[in-house]
Amino acid sequence: MMRGFPVLIVKRSTIQGWMHVVSQCEAQLASATNIVERMVNGEWQVGDQASGESGKLIQALYRLSDRLQKIASEEGQRAWANEGLAKFMNVLRQRGSTTQLADEIMRFIIKYLEVNQGALYLSEGEGADTFLEMKACYAYERKRYIQHRVNPGEGLVGQAALEKETLYLKDIPRNYIKITSGLGEALPGNLAIVPLMNDGFVVGVLEIASFQSLTRHQLTFLEKAGESIASVLVARQAADKLQHLVDAMQHQAALLKEQDATMRRNLEQLAASEEEMKRAKVNAERLLVESQEQTQRLVTQEEELRQNLEQMDAQSEAIQEQIRNSERIRKELATREEVFGYTTILSETDKYGNIIYVNDKFCEVSGFAREELIGKPQNIVRHPDTPKEVFKAMWATIKAGNVFNGIIKNRCKDGSHYWVDVTIVPVKDENGAIVKYIGARYHIKTDALAQQLVDLTTKAA
């Protein structure tokens, strides 16, 4: 007999049972592997865990998948909230007025939550006069300019402020929000009202309305955002009060400084006034002495004045007589000048020969108007028949300071001529310098007489 391994005889049905179990294990292992791979890829909905045909491993993996899905969802919500709060803090750090900050707050919250509309109310007034005033309102991505004021306990906003608790309402009647919420014409069905709390005091109310339901993590985000808003608003109010106090103190300090400076100036002026009064007293005493001396001098001068007046009365009569004689002489000279003007052609020129005066006789004989002569050179009436040598001799004589006499043929304005017996006298200043010339001319009526005079003058020369 041969020796070897022992022989185990197994029934075919047993082997088939074992093979079925192995096949089930392989199927469960493949299913488990598939579930794990899908979970690794972020697919949490991996099957129906209610099925009782799966093994314990598959059902455990289903439960693990559900748990991980819940954890991932919660983590996503926390990340969403943390990211939103971080961004929101950047909004709260912005500078500007409270109204501008309220606008930026509502613009961010509406956009981040993807809701339809919202409003921000801030607490105003003090004590029994406290009320909530709408500072910002956004609806459908547009700023709404609405003025709304709510008293504590009035409407949903006032109720939330009074109770200091978040209100979240669903399935609101169509006209309920328009009547009581202060959100204007928009008619959403879900409403969240969050009081902005700081140390137990309501500093405002945040009102959010949406056509979609708000999740728990969105409401939590609103409450945390409300806490941040309240902290920033309180900090701003404290800063504003501090700044107001600093400004008031600085103003008071400036007033005190100004008052101190004014007091110092007044004291200096008072001291100066006292010194001035002392000087004034000394001056008054000096002026009194001077006044007495002046009075004595005035008495003396009055006597001298009386004597002088008597002398002046005597002199005045003599002066009056001189004035009467001067007036008589003036009238006689004026009469002589008038008569002289009727018979004599008179003119004056400056030292360069430009006419500065003519009398009526000059204009009558020459035919020129006075305006046509003044400022013109004397040769405006020079006739071309008169030799140049005559005028050269004339200028040489009068420039030398001598008197010139001669018979001259002049030209009229109309081109005709007339003869004159001319005498030109230079006029000198106190230094002997010639300043002008005066010419006196006698009209010779006929050419024959003029020619005879020319001939006589030529023979005499």
| Residue 125, domain CATH | 3.30.450.40
Residue 71: strand, helix, or coil: helix
Closest to 165 (Cα-Cα) out of 190, 183, 189, 192: 192
* 236 and 356 share one domain: no
Closest to 42 (Cα-Cα) out of 17, 18, 76: 76
The confidence score (pLDDT) of residue 27 equals 67
Of 216, 244, 272, the last residue of a domain is: 244
Give dist(CA 282, CA 288) in Å, integer: 10
What pTM does this model have?
0.41
List the Cα angle 278/279/285 in 5-degree steps. 95
- Residue bearing tokens 């961010």: 108
Asked if residue 209 lies in contact with residue 182, where contact means CB atoms within 8 angstroms, the answer is: no
Structural domain boundaries, residue 362: 344-460
Quick one: tokens of 194?
A: 């969050």
* 97 and 240 share one domain: yes
Closest to 55 (Cα-Cα) out of 93, 95, 26, 81: 26
* 232 and 373 share one domain: no
The confidence score (pLDDT) of residue 418 equals 94
Listed in sequence order, the DSSP H helices in 400-445 are none
Mean pLDDT by 10 residues, the chain (461 residues): 54 66 66 65 54 54 58 60 68 74 80 80 80 78 70 81 81 56 59 83 83 79 79 77 83 87 86 84 83 83 81 78 78 70 88 94 94 94 91 92 93 94 93 94 90 80 61
- For residue 437, give every residue at least 6 positions away whose Cβ sits within 8 Å of its Cβ, in sequence order, or none: 348, 349, 351, 353, 398, 424, 425, 426, 427
Of 244, 268, 301, the last residue of a domain is: 244
Asked if residue 428 lies in contact with residue 435, where contact means CB atoms within 8 angstroms, the answer is: yes
224 phi/psi in degrees, rounded to 5:
-65, -40
Residue 254 lies in a domain: no
In whole angstroms, what separates CA 98 from the centre of its chain? Answer: 26
Give dist(CA 68, CA 51) in Å, integer: 20
The confidence score (pLDDT) of residue 2 equals 47
* 230 and 368 share one domain: no
Stretch (H or E) spanning 178: helix 176-180
Quick one: tokens of 186?
A: 């928009």
Of 244, 262, 297, the last residue of a domain is: 244
Stretch (H or E) spanning 332: helix 216-343
* 235 and 374 share one domain: no
* 217 and 366 share one domain: no
* 375 and 236 share one domain: no
The confidence score (pLDDT) of residue 346 equals 92
The confidence score (pLDDT) of residue 122 equals 86
Give dist(CA 20, CA 332) in Å, integer: 173
Residue 31 lies in a domain: no
In whole angstroms, what separates CA 19 from the centre of its chain? Answer: 98
* 236 and 362 share one domain: no
- Residue bearing tokens 């500078």: 95
Tally of domains in the chain = 2
The confidence score (pLDDT) of residue 52 equals 46
Residue 293 lies in a domain: no
Q: Which CATH number is 379's domain given? A: 3.30.450.20
357 phi/psi in degrees, rounded to 5:
-160, 140
Residue 327 lies in a domain: no
* 85 and 229 share one domain: yes
* 232 and 102 share one domain: yes
Residue 371 lies in a domain: yes
Quick one: tokens of 242?
A: 């501090």
> How many helices (H) and strands (E) would you count in the chain?
10, 12
List the Cα angle 319/320/325 in 5-degree steps. 95
Residue 196 lies in a domain: yes
Residues in the chain: 461
The confidence score (pLDDT) of residue 372 equals 95
* 112 and 232 share one domain: yes
Residue 287 lies in a domain: no
Residue 355 lies in a domain: yes
Give dist(CA 337, CA 358) in Å, integer: 14
